[in-house]
Amino acid sequence: MDVEGETTVTGSTPIVLFVCVHNAGRSQMAAGYLRALAGGRVDVLSAGSEPKDQLNPVAVQVMAEDGIDIAGQQPKVLTTEAVQESDVVITMGCGDTCPIFPGKRYEDWDLTDPAGRPAEEVRPIRDEIKRRVQALLAELVPAAS
């Protein structure tokens, strides 16, 4: 495993990787929701093609408003190994920097980058991420819906 600070369980538990450019906002919010909502039924990774030094503080704030604590997470660099071990790869604006491997499920979520935006503009992005994560979870673990 080459995504620092995250481990996965091999076997029948699906592994989902969320990828955006900086791994400081969108992908961290999505990972936070999936971790909280899946209750251990899905292994969650997140990474960025050009990770920042720290999370977007507004993303941390708006997630906390919805009861999800992502403050302890750190942006991580995207590695080929992380993509290889994942079953589902969700990209959010990383473009051609995301490696593609046969047999993986890929989705690209077209979401506004919350970087530099005030909380009132980030909340709708957070809510859309939550909606998409809930739909993804219902597909991956049907009993969870």
Which residues have a catalytic role annotated? 20, 94, 98
- In angstroms, rounded to a whole number, what is the distance separating the alpha carbons of residues 80 and 136? 23
Going by C-beta distance under 8 Å and a sequence separation of 6 or more, which residues neighbour residue 3? 17, 45, 46, 47, 76, 77, 78, 79, 81, 82
- Minimal CA–CA distance to 73: which of 56, 85, 50? 56
Going by C-beta distance under 8 Å and a sequence separation of 6 or more, which residues neighbour residue 144? 37, 38, 39, 41, 137, 138
Instruction: At 134, list the tokens.
Output: 């809930």
Q: Note the helical H segments in the chain.
A: 26-38, 57-65, 80-85, 119-140
